[in-house]
Structure formats: structure tokens, C-alpha cells
Structure 1
Amino acid sequence: MSRRSVFLFAALIVMLYFSIILFMLNPLNGAKSPYYGNGYLNHFAYRQLPQVNWCKELKLRSPPSPDVVALISYPGSGNTWLRYLLQQVTGIVTGSIYMDYGLRVHGFPAENITDGSVLVVKTHEAPPLESNKFKSAVVLMRNPRDCILADFNRLHKGHIGTAPKSAFRMISQEHKKIDWTTYVKNQLKVWETLHQIWFTKFQGPIHIVFYEVLVSDTRNTLQGILNFLNFTVSQADMDCAMNRKEGIYRRKKKLQGFDPFTPAMYKAIEISRSRVLNIIKYYRKTHNLSG
């Protein structure tokens, strides 16, 4: 093998090595995968994100809790922000059934950990087949219009970016072109089915959190979740979390002067939303829950 060939081979190995490193650092505002971990990269975008100032050093639960708590939501419902708030106020890391490398290097080191060493475990899926996997669940629910739009933004611009107007004409999913109307129709079914199955099939206790209430009354909503988790924090812990509640995990930029939803879409959204709210009302009634 000539010296030139050896040099080219070595250069190829080095490039492959750094490509793997860049993949592991998949940035928050550059992921395009449907459910985390296989997207294209804006290779240097992760450098632009500010550091997270945690109220206390993050750690695993010690000893681990014998009961694993699921944190369920349809994608785009504010799951990442709620995990951030929980980590701020408790200092305990939150887990996930997924491996999102962008989140892992930007404040969520327990990605892909699903046991009692984490406070809650993120999932966008139906209840697992193992009936004892989760003993209880926190369901984070958001208006389907907003979470479908938020997840569409994530598909194009990651966890904190916003899709351009041109993206609403066509999107790429599994190498097939799907128009925006079809996307909304399909995802609305997913949104409704996800909530329906958790409230009718899951046997453990469920704590319901509405994203809109979490935004408008963050302190009391967060305290309600902590009460459900039987986790006590000090007033100083809560004050610190509230002082830092915005973090870096909420989209700042909104679509200006542009509404991608048609009247027909709004009608379908309201019908689906009403069906789910009726399921929740029935669940609360049969489980003697107030609110």
C-alpha cells in the first residue's frame, strides 16, 4: 500500500470518527427524526445553545424508587419543558424510553433510563405490555392544534425551532411525501387514541396535567405533580425553579400572520378534543377525582 493510500485511509477513519461524534451531539434545534435519534445535523448548532443553570446538581434517585412513574404525552405537548421543571425543583433526573442524544447532552443525562432511579419516564407510546412496568402515570395533555403544530415544528427544526411557512406545503416522512392536511388528519387520530387508551386501559393511578394550566399557573401545577409523586421539596427549591422556569426548552418564535389550519381542520380538532375531554370527565368521576 502506497504512502498516499495510507494517508487517505487514515483521513477517512478520522472523518468517520468525527461524524460519529457529531451524530452523538445531535442538537436540539437540528433534529428531524420522527421519534428521536436518526435526524440530519446542523453540525455546530449545539454550540449556540446557552448552558442550563440548574438549581442543584442533578443526580439519580438513591435508593431507586420501587415504583416507576410514566410521563405520557403526545409529542409537542411540552414534555421536555415539564421534565426540565421537575429536574430544576427536585434535582433528580428524568428518564425516557427513547435515546435522544441532543437532549442527553443538553440537560437530560438519563435518556434511555426507565427504572426507579429516575423521577419519571417520558413516553409517547401506549401502555406497555408488561402490566407492572409503570405503577402510575402523569398525563400531560395539550390542545391538539398546538401540540400537532409544535411537533411539526420539531420534525423540521428540532425541540426549540420553528418550521418555515414553506414546510407546511409538504413534509417528508419515511421517504414519502405527505401533505399538511393528511398529516393533521393522521396525527389527530394518534393524539386521540393515545389519550383514550391510557385513560381506559391503564390500571394504575393517573395525574392529569393540562399544558395550558402548567403555563398559566406553573407553581401550583408543578406542586400538584410533586404531591402525586409523593416528593417533598423546600420553598427555596420551588422559588429557584420558578425563577428559572423558562429555561431553553420552549420555542420563542411563533408563526406571525399565518394560520396553517383550515376551518375543516378546526372542526375535526374540536370534535376529537371533546371526545377526549369526555373520557377524562368519566375517568375523574369513576375515580373520585376533583378538578
Structure 2
Amino acid sequence: MPRIVPCQSLPFSGFPARIRDCGQTRVMSTVIKTVLLLAPAYVYLYINAVYSLKSSHLHYREPLTDLVSQMQETSTAVQNSTNGGHPSTSVYRALEIDHTKASHSLWSEDAQCSKFLVNFGKNIEGTLLLSFPRSGNTWTRYLLEGATGIFTSSVFNDPSLTKAGFLGEVSSLSHNNTIVTKYHFLQKNHHATDPCILLIRNPIRAIASLWAFKIVTSWDVKHVAVIDNSRYNTSEFRNFYQNMLNRWMDVIRNALENSRLRLLPMYYEQLREDPIKEVRRMLNFLRLKPNEERLVCVARHITGKMKGGQKKFNPYTKNEMNQAQEAVKIVNNLLVKRGLPPLPDYSKYEN
């Protein structure tokens, strides 16, 4: 029979007397093991919290090499996620640059980011960037141009945007030289087989912003202007709201009911909340490998020049708010029916 050694005779002289008995020693051993097991998780959470805090500032400055590795940590998870109900692809496409055409520097005053130019491409598969007006389309174009280095185009040929550096504004989907093309409405079955990023914003915020865009006459400030609250208290705005709410539903309904093979819903509120994460989703949908240095520069200059002004004022009556909620339910049901993510809870966002 083996000799049983009393607990008190074990060599615990290095421990305080109060934990020398066997029961307390087992407890202490369990605590130490648990701490060692959880330590890596706490380190990861600390690093993630620090990076999130940095990303919340619009113009933080750190060497690109210090931030690129941090950005790469989230890339794999996004690449393995789903794109609007469609499996993501691991096959990236290469983009050919047209060096015979003009280029543009988004961040010429930033020594670490000025090397990244935006160019026209060649033989690029066309993708629609579809949204109801004032849903963040122009800002999304800026984010994509910064992330990809390829211009975006539009069906509107807005001279104020060309002046602001969106040189692809004069191009179109059929030219196959831009990464996405801006649309605000599509007839049913029009471009039904083209890939589409569908950008959706809370209708009460989009319509209020569109009214300000309509009221302001100067094209130099139309995209960023904020008007006085009293400009909403008119019968013209009440009629405008009714017409535009139906239009908001039509834009989304047509996109969802068309026989599109590839459709990515992008929710403006989530884009504002975490721009780099949502840009990664768009890059994955576009089958483009993220350029981590470019994404760091996008994060450092997140607003760009043409992001619209944000207004917390609510100009709507109780009945109008109820109508908007019903419209949101209809659109949300269409999204879910197609197997796409539901709309965000708009009550959590002020504007």
C-alpha cells in the first residue's frame, strides 16, 4: 500500500500559511489555471478596444506600418462572411489601370497617404451602386475610390462632383472603366443581371436630407448643406414627403424583385457606425483583395469632402412617422423573403 502523505507535510513553505491545507491549495490551483487560460482572450479584447477607439477619431496619425497589421486581423472574418445571402468568393480579380487617363489624389496633404492615387480602369465588370437619393451614395463612392484606387461613375454627370475630384462622374456603366456606377432608380428588369450594391437609409432621414438638397440652389454646397428647421414647416414639404416615401419603397422593391444574380444590401446606418468593416464587405462582394495601407488612409480621412451634413431635427408629424414605419416593415419583409439581412433598428440612430 502506498504511504499517504498528510497535506500539512507537503513542501508548501513558499505559500502563506492560510492556503497550505489541501482544499485551499486545490482552489488556488484552479484559479491560477483559469487566469492562464483566459489571459490571451483578455489581451485580444484589450487590443481590439484600443483599435476601435482609434478608429472612432477621424484624423488620428500613426505610421501606416503600425496600423496595417491591426487592420489585417479583421480581413479574414469578413472574407469568410456571406454577401447578401450569397457565399463569398476567395477568387480575387485583378484590376487593370488605364494610365493614359487622368488620375486624382484624395489625400495630397497627407505625406503617408499622398502616394495613393485614384485612376480609371480598363475592362472592369460593371456594378451598380443603387440607392434612393441622399442615402450616402456619394460618400460610399468616396470610400470605394479610396479603398480600390479606381474611380466610380454616375448616370447624373454632376459638375460639382467632378470639380470635387470624382473624375469618373462623366463616365458610365457601359464604359467599363469604373468600379461602380451611381443610380437612384431603375426600371424593373433594367440591368437585371448586373451585380448591384443596394444602399438603404432610414426613409425619414433620407427624405429630410433630400428636401434640403432640393431647397438649396447653389451646386457648390448642395451636397453638404443643412437648412433651417423652419424650411420643413410647409405644405410643400408635407406633399413632398408623401411622394418620396412611395418612391423610397419603389427603388428598393424594384431592386429586390428583379431577377438579380448578385445583390448586396448595404445599410447606411451601419456604414456610418463602422465604415471600414462595411467597406470590406463591399470589396469582398466586388471580388477585390483589400489593400490594407489604403484602408488605413481611408480610416484617417473617413468623411471625405462630400459627406452630407447630419441633422437630428425631426420635421415629421405622428401620422407621417407611422407611415414611415409601415414602409420600413414592407421593405424589411421583402429583404427577409429574399434571404437577406433585415434592416437595422432605426430607433437606435439619431440621424
TM-score w.r.t. the length of structure 2 is: 0.60
Q: Deviations over 1:180-236 (max 9, x none)?
A: 111111100000011001100142310110000001111111000000001113211
Residue 107 of structure 2 corresponds to: 53
Q: What is the deviation of 1:98? A: 0.9
Residue 26 of structure 1 corresponds to: none
Residue 100 of structure 1 corresponds to: 158
Are 2:150 and 2:178, in contact at CA under 8 Å, matched by a contact in 1? yes
Is residue 314 of structure 2 the alignment partner of residue 259 of structure 1? yes
Cα distance change, pair 179–218 in 1 and its aligned pair in 2 (3 A): same
Cα distance change, pair 112–204 in 1 and its aligned pair in 2 (3 A): farther
Q: Deviations over 1:122-155 (max 9, x none)?
A: 00011476547x6210000000011111111211
Q: Which runs of 4+ in 1 moved over 6 A?
A: none
Task: After superposing the two structures, state which structure 1 stretch, 207-216 or 244-253, moved more.
Answer: 244-253
Is residue 124 of structure 2 the alignment partner of residue 124 of structure 1? no
Q: What is the DSSP-based 3-state SS (H/G/I as helix, E as strand, rest coil) of the residue aligned with 2:265?
A: strand
Structure 1 regions of 5+ residues with no counterpart?
1-50, 171-177
Cα distance change, pair 128–113 in 1 and its aligned pair in 2 (3 A): farther
Of 164, 182, 193 in structure 1, the residue corresponding to residue 228 of structure 2 is 164
Are 2:120 and 2:150, in contact at CA under 8 Å, matched by a contact in 1? yes
Specify the code of the residue in structure 2 equivalent to 1:73: S
Residue 25 of structure 2 corresponds to: none
Is residue 344 of structure 2 the alignment partner of residue 284 of structure 1? no
Of 187, 191, 197 in structure 1, the residue corresponding to residue 248 of structure 2 is 191
Specify the code of the residue in structure 2 equivalent to 1:159: H
Structure 2 regions of 5+ residues with no counterpart?
1-104, 217-221, 344-351
Q: C-alpha distance in 1, partners of 2:191/2:270?
A: 30
Superposition pairs of residues 9-28 of structure 1, within 5 angstroms: none
Cα distance change, pair 253–123 in 1 and its aligned pair in 2 (3 A): closer
Specify the code of the residue in structure 2 equivalent to 1:116: N
Are 2:189 and 2:259, in contact at CA under 8 Å, matched by a contact in 1? no
Q: C-alpha distance in 2, partners of 1:165/1:216?
A: 25
Q: What is the DSSP-based 3-state SS (H/G/I as helix, E as strand, rest coil) of the residue aligned with 2:170?
A: coil
Superposition pairs of residues 196-207 of structure 1, within 5 angstroms: 196-207=253-264
Cα distance change, pair 202–164 in 1 and its aligned pair in 2 (3 A): farther
Is residue 292 of structure 2 the alignment partner of residue 235 of structure 1? yes
Q: What is the DSSP-based 3-state SS (H/G/I as helix, E as strand, rest coil) of the residue aligned with 1:247?
A: coil
Q: How many residue pairs end up in the alignment?
A: 226
Q: C-alpha distance in 1, partners of 2:306/2:229?
A: 22
Specify the code of the residue in structure 2 equivalent to 1:53: W
Residue 31 of structure 1 corresponds to: none
Q: C-alpha distance in 2, partners of 1:241/1:219?
A: 8
Q: CA RMSD in A?
A: 2.2
Are 2:153 and 2:170, in contact at CA under 8 Å, matched by a contact in 1? yes
Identity over the aligned pairs, expressed in percent? 23
Are 1:58 and 1:92, in contact at CA under 8 Å, matched by a contact in 2? yes
Q: C-alpha distance in 1, partners of 2:181/2:279?
A: 16
Q: What is the deviation of 1:290? A: 9.7
Q: C-alpha distance in 2, partners of 1:123/1:164?
A: 28
